[in-house]
Amino acid sequence: MNATFEVLFVIAWLLAGLLSALWLARHGHSPLWIPIGLVLGPFFVLIALDRASRHPELVAGGPPDTPGRRSGPRVMVGHDGSAESQHALDMAVDIAAGRQGTVTLAEVLSYDDVVEGDSTPMIDTATRKLAEVTAQVNAVPAEYEVLVGPPGEALREFADKQNADLIVVGRHGRGLSERLLGSVSADLVAHSAVPVLVVEPHATRTENRPVAHS
């Protein structure tokens, strides 16, 4: 009887920590909290609740906006350096160029990559990479932003705040991280007030259409 109780206690301890850490990861924090959650068990619940109270932030951006340069739609594209996000950027540029619009590249970092009020290597690296990619966009005016928070929430919140007309994201493969932490594209489609275009990895231009509307 004692052995059964001990096993159930250990299972309950691990589940409490695991579920709290996964919930925290869905709210914009690093999955590296998962082993800590497993160790701390139910005590990790309070840590998760405290850390999950943060809201998405803009921590870096550029180049400076030029007043009056936008005569067409503003397209925000989620860009994390992957092949899928590059495909999404190509689609976003194509859409903006055909309508005299502009493109904003946005990468979303975890809260744990950022020290509040200070720059970090992760912010510096994301800023440098986005600046390099942005400089290669010649067909339309382009700028970039580094955000922190849950990816889906951060993209839709800042797209709405900045009066974007369309969010473009690439669809990633359904790996373990997506099953555990959730799909960014699914979050955007379900909750974004701004129209969303999910670009399939191997789809042609005519096969991609906005799938959510304000």
pLDDT at residue 9 in the model = 75
- Between the CA atoms of 33, 81, 131 and 88, what dihedral angle is there, to the nearest 10 degrees? -120
102: domain CATH number? 3.40.50.620
On whether both 13 and 119 belong to a single domain, the answer is: no
Specify the higher pLDDT residue, 27 or 124. Answer: 124
Domain co-membership, 154 together with 124:
yes
Percent of the chain exceeding pLDDT 70 equals 77
> How many domains does one find in the chain?
2
**Pair 65, 43 in one domain:** no
Q: What is the pTM of this model?
A: 0.70
- pLDDT tens for 157-199 read 899 988 899 999 887 655 444 444 447 888 888 888 899 998 8
Same domain flag for 13 and 74: no
Same domain, 133 and 164: yes
What pLDDT was estimated at residue 115?
63
Residues 82 and 186 in one domain: yes
Print the domain residue range for 34. 2-51
Three-state SS at 115: coil
Distances in whole angstroms, Cα of residue 4 to Cα of each of 8, 16, 157, 213: 6, 18, 48, 53
Is pLDDT at 147 greater than 80 in this prediction?
yes
| Half-sphere exposure of residue 166: CA atoms within 13 angstroms, side-chain side | 24
The identity of residue 145, as a single letter, is E
Whether 84 and 46 map to the same domain: the answer is no
